[in-house]
C-alpha cells in the first residue's frame, strides 16, 4: 500500500495540514517539527513515491563521508565528526553519515537518489574518488584534507605553522638535536608539519640549507611507518628505532605516532622525558592517557567541524563563489613529555 500524508501525520500524532506545510516548504511549522516530518516521510518511503517533494527534502540534507578505518585508528576524527553533526543540526539540516573504503568506493544512496544538497568529506579521499563526487555536480567541501588535482573548498589546520612553532619552542629550550617521527608520504598534513619543522631548523641557524637534509636523516624516521601506527604495532616501531642515532627530542607527526614512540623508547630502556623528549600534534585524548602525558600542538577540532558545515552551506547557497581554503591556527599545549 502507498504511504499517504495521513500515515505520516498519524505516525507523528500531528495534523495532515502540518505535514503538507513541511513537504511543500511553507511557513507554519517549527524547524524541529519540519525536521521530524521530512525525516519520517523519507523513512516511510513517501519521498520516493512523491518525487515532487524530493527537492524540498534534498535541500535539507548534507552527506558526510569518512573512510571507515578512521573509526578504529583515530581519536582526532571522532571529535571532528561529532562537531559536524552538531553544527549541521544547528543550521537546520539533516546529516547522513556514510563510511567508505577508498579502494572500494561507491556513491551512497543519498547522493545517487539526489537526496542531499552537498557533500562533506572528512579526512583522506583519492583524487579518482573525489572526481566521482564532483561529477555529481553537488557542492563538495574537504575537511582536514586537500587535493592538488582539482580546486575544491577545504578546511585545514595550519599544519606548517604548527610544525614550525613546536620546533622553535623546543629550540628555545636549548635542545640541539631534534628529529621528526612520522610518515611524510602518508598525507599532506604530515608533510606540511615536517616542512614547518625543517624551516624552523634552518631559520634558527642550527643547520644550514646545505646540511639540513643530512641532519634530518641522522635523527628522523620519515617513511613506511604509518601502517605500524594504525595497527598499534609497538614491536615494529621498537625495531625501527633500535640501534638508530636518537635525537634529544622527537617531533611527531601526530599524537598516535608520539604515543607509540614513547612506548617503543620505554621498551628500549629510555626514560621520557629525562633521556629523550617526545612531542605530538593534534591534542587528542591520547595525550592525557599516555604516560608521560604528551606535550602537543592543539588543533581546533570542534571549530574545524563547524567551519566545514558553514562553508558547505555557503557553497550550496552561492555555487558561483570562489573556491577557498580555510586555515585554522594552532597553539602549543605543554605537558610532561618534554623537559
Q: How many residues does the chain have?
A: 339
C-alpha atoms less than 13 angstroms from C-alpha of 287 in its C-beta half-sphere: 24
* Beta carbons within 10 angstroms of residue 318's beta carbon: 10
Is residue 334 within 8 A of residue 295, CB to CB? The reply is: yes
Helices (H) and strands (E) in the chain, counts: 17, 11
Rounded to 5 degrees, φ, ψ at 278 are -140, 130
Q: What is the pLDDT of residue 257?
A: 96
User: What pLDDT score was predicted for residue 18?
Assistant: 86
Find all residues with CB under 8 Å of 79, minimum gap 6, and list them: 284, 301, 302, 305
Q: How far, in Å, are 76, 119, 155, 322 from residue 297 at the CA level?
A: 13, 29, 17, 30
pLDDT one-digit tens code per residue, 97-110 = 999 999 999 999 99
Integer Cα distance of 165 and 11 in angstroms = 56
Q: How far apart are CA 254 and CA 286, in angstroms?
A: 10
Q: How confident is the model at residue 73 (pLDDT cuts 50, 70, 90)?
A: low
DSSP 276-317: -EEE-SB--THHHHSSSPPBEEEP-HHHHHHHHHHHHHHHHH
Quote the pTM value. 0.85
Look at 159 and 37; give whichever has higher pLDDT.
159
Q: Which residue has the cell 563563489?
A: 321
Q: Which of the pair, 27 or 202, is modelled with greater confidence?
A: 202
Q: Which domains does the chain have, with CATH numbers?
A: 5-57 (no CATH), 61-157+301-329 (3.40.50.2300), 159-299 (3.40.50.2300)
pLDDT at 74: 60
What pLDDT, in 10s, does the model give residues 294-339?
999 999 999 999 999 999 999 998 887 889 999 999 999 999 999 9
Amino acid at each position: 500500500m502507498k504511504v499517504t500524508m495521513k500515515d505520516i501525520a498519524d505516525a507523528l500524532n500531528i495534523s495532515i495540514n502540518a505535514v503538507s506545510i513541511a513537504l511543500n516548504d511553507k511557513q507554519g511549522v517549527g524547524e524541529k517539527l519540519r525536521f521530524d516530518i521530512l525525516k519520517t516521510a523519507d523513512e516511510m518511503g513517501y519521498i520516493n513515491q512523491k518525487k515532487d517533494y524530493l527537492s524540498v527534502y534534498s535541500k535539507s540534507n548534507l552527506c558526510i563521508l569518512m573512510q571507515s578505518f578512521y573509526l578504529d585508528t583515530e581519536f582526532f576524527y571522532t571529535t571532528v565528526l561529532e562537531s559536524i553533526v552538531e553544527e549541521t543540526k544547528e543550521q537546520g539540516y539533516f546529516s547522513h553519515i556514510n563510511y567508505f573504503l577508498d579502494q572500494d568506493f561507491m556513491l551512497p544512496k543519498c547522493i545517487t537518489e539526489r537526496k542531499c544538497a552537498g557533500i562533506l568529506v572528512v579526512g583522506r579521499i583519492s583524487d579518482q574518488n573525489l572526481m566521482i563526487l564532483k561529477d555529481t555536480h553537488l557542492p563538495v567541501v574537504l575537511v582536514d584534507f586537500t587535493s592538488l588535482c582539482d580546486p575544491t573548498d577545504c578546511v585545514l589546520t595550519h599544519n606548517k605553522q604548527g610544525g614550525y612553532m613546536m620546533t622553535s619552542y623546543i629550540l628555545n629550550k636549548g635542545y640541539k638535536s631534534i628529529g621528526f617521527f612520522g610518515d611524510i608520504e602518508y598525507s599532506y598534513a604530515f608533510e606540511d608539519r615536517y616542512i614547518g619543522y625543517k624551516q624552523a631548523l634552518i631559520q634558527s641557524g642550527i643547520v644550514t640549507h646545505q646540511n639540513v637534509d643530512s641532519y634530518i636523516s641522522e635523527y628522523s624516521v620519515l617513511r613506511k611507518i604509518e601502517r605500524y601506527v594504525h595497527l598499534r604495532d609497538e614491536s615494529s616501531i621498537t625495531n625501527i628505532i633500535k640501534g638508530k642515532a636518537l635525537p634529544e627530542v622527537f617531533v611527531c607527526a601526530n599524537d598516535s605516532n608520539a604515543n607509540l614512540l614513547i612506548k617503543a623508547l620505554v621498551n628500549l630502556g629510555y626514560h621520557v622525558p629525562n633521556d629523550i623528549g617526545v612531542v605530538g600534534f593534534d591534542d587528542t585524548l591520547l595525550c592525557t592517557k599516555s604516560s608521560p602525558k604528551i606535550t602537543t600542538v592543539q588543533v581546533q577540532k570542534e571549530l574545524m567541524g563547524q567551519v566545514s558545515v558553514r562553508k558547505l552551506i555557503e557553497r550550496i547557497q552561492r555555487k558561483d563563489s570562489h573556491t577557498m581554503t580555510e586555515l585554522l591556527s594552532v597553539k602549543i599545549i605543554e605537558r610532561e613529555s618534554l623537559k
